[in-house]
């Protein structure tokens, strides 16, 4: 097991100084053609590669982006990561990923860990617990230390940093409007409690869509569940109870899990989808595509979101120090994918 080749070793081997080797490899004109060739040949032969850690220390830059997300087993986050990875690679950055597991302490710990030299900046989506605690000192502190931060999806307004968001309100409005356009008039929504920002915004879009069609919003047609990430037995029971015996012709849900369960429940009650009741959901995955019937969704474009977040971060990182601080909030547009769970547009 041989040790990694370093400038020092090359220098020793060829009986020149370290700095000569360094210069030669960087094609400095100072070095004679002769020795330069010799050194480069040797380095190539033994496959010399400069040590990134040493470079990071010297340059005080790691060319590494830290991503902190609540969970990775989640199609949406996964697509975002892919987007970040793409953009990072295009600009010669590395990506290091940490999971908060929706746990406040782990989020803080991870940030501190990565902030101590491992990373030049952060892209993050806040843990649920962090939002509930309403404690963002770890964010303000790293920003104060001069590390750029880009937040996406689960964002909090008061933090001074770039943000990338899905236009949840507009997306929900688009989805519900699609139901309206295909003839639905009695439309329910399955959403989350308002403290989940995206749930709140999507509920808002639902209301706006109805109002733009002069339809009164019936509170009985709104079901608010606890989590947006899962749909356990308790959720399923609530969905069944909610839908049972209701006179509806459309259902909008804020994620695809709710939609799949709603679809199942409706069929249990003898309703046909989409002939009796149509379904549209916010989506981030394959489930809606492969469900039976396949689900019409408002698509979130996570990859684009990741690309945008990385772009904003890299801009900040490569911007000259003195430039004026300025924070942008980018919105990623959603789009509607019509499938079998809604009727055809006339």
Partner DNA sequence: TTGTACGCGTTATCAT
Partner DNA sequence: ATGATAACGCGTACAA
Residues making contact with DNA (CB under 7 A):
3-4, 6-8, 15-20, 22-23, 25-26, 28-32, 34-36, 50-51, 54-55, 57-58, 60
Q: Please list every residue from 20 through 59 that binds its own copies, using CB under 8 A.
A: 47, 49-54, 56-57
Residue 260 found at the interface with its own copies (CB under 8 A):
yes
Check: CB of residue 64 under 8 Å from CB of residue 118: yes
* Cα gap 283→194, rounded to integer Å: 19
Residue 233 touches which of its own copies, DNA, none (Cβ within 5-8 Å per kind): none
Sign of CA dihedral 54, 59, 64, 67: positive
What backbone phi and psi angles, to 5 degrees, belong to 164? -125, 125
- Tell me the three state secondary structure of residue 203: helix
Check: CB of residue 176 under 8 Å from CB of residue 222: no
Residue 257 touches which of DNA, its own copies, none (Cβ within 5-8 Å per kind): its own copies
Q: Rounded to the nearest whole angstrom, what is the least distance from the CB of residue 46 to DNA in the complex?
A: 12
Q: Which is nearer to its own copies, 53 or 195 (CB)?
A: 53
Residue 105 found at the interface with its own copies (CB under 8 A):
no
Residue 65 touches which of its own copies, DNA, none (Cβ within 5-8 Å per kind): none
Q: Which of 21, 115, 139, 243 touches its own copies (CB under 8 A)?
A: 115
Report the largest interatomic distance among the alpha carbons of the chain, rounded to a whole angstrom. Answer: 89
Residue 140 found at the interface with its own copies (CB under 8 A):
no
- 138 burial (CB, 10 Å; 0-12 / 13-18 / 19+) is middle
What is the enclosing helix (H) or strand (E) of 162?
Answer: strand 162-166
The two structure tokens encoding residue 121: 């900046």
Q: Rounded to the nearest whole angstrom, what is the least distance from the CB of residue 239 to its own copies in the complex?
A: 13
Q: Please list every residue from 288 through 307 that binds its own copies, using CB under 8 A.
A: 290-292
Residue 288 exposure: Cα atoms within 13 Å on the Cβ side: 28
Residue entry with tokens 């330069």: 36
Q: Rounded to the nearest whole angstrom, what is the least distance from the CB of residue 26 to its own copies in the complex?
A: 16
Q: Rounded to the nearest whole angstrom, what is the least distance from the CB of residue 33 to its own copies in the complex?
A: 28
Q: Rounded to the nearest whole angstrom, what is the least distance from the CB of residue 52 to DNA in the complex?
A: 8
Check: CB of residue 102 under 8 Å from CB of residue 125: no
Radius of gyration of the chain (CA): 26
Q: What does the binding site for its own copies look like in residue numbers (CB under 8 A)?
A: 1-4, 47, 49-54, 56-57, 62, 64, 71-75, 78-79, 81-82, 85, 94-99, 112-118, 141, 144-146, 257, 260, 263-264, 267, 285-287, 290-292
């Amino acid at each position: 097991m041989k040790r990694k080749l370093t400038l020092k070793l090359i220098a020793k081997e060829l009986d020149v100084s370290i700095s000569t080797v360094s210069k030669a490899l960087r094609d400095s004109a100072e070095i004679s053609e002769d020795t330069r060739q010799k050194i480069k040949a040797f380095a190539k032969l033994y496959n010399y590669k400069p040590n990134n850690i040493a470079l990071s220390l010297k340059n005080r830059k790691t060319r590494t982006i830290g991503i902190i997300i609540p969970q990775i087993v989640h199609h949406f986050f996964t697509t975002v990561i892919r987007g970040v990875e793409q953009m990072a690679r295009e600009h010669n950055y590395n990506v290091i990923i940490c999971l908060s597991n929706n746990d406040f302490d782990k989020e803080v710990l991870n940030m501190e860990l990565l902030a101590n030299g491992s990373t030049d900046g952060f892209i993050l989506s806040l843990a649920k617990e962090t939002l509930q605690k309403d404690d963002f000192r770890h964010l303000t502190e790293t920003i104060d230390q001069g590390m750029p931060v880009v937040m996406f999806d689960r964002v909090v307004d008061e933090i001074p940093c770039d943000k990338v968001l899905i236009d949840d309100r507009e997306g929900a409005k688009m989805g519900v409007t699609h139901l309206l356009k295909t003839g639905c008039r009695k439309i329910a929504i399955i959403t989350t409690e308002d403290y989940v920002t995206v749930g709140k915004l999507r509920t808002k879009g639902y209301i706006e869509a109805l109002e733009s069609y002069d339809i009164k919003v019936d509170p009985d047609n709104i079901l608010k569940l606890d989590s947006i990430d899962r749909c356990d037995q308790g959720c399923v029971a609530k969905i069944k109870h909610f839908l049972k015996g209701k006179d509806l012709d459309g259902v909008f849900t804020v994620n695809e899990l709710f939609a799949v369960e709603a679809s199942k429940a409706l069929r249990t009650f003898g309703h046909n989808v989409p002939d009796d009741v149509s379904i549209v959901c916010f989506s981030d995955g394959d489930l809606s595509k492969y469900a039976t019937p396949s689900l019409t969704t408002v698509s979130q474009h996570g990859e684009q979101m990741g690309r945008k977040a990385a772009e904003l971060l890299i801009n900040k990182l490569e911007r000259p120090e003195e430039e004026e601080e300025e924070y942008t909030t980018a919105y990623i547009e959603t789009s509607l994918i019509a499938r079998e769970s809604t009727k055809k547009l006339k």
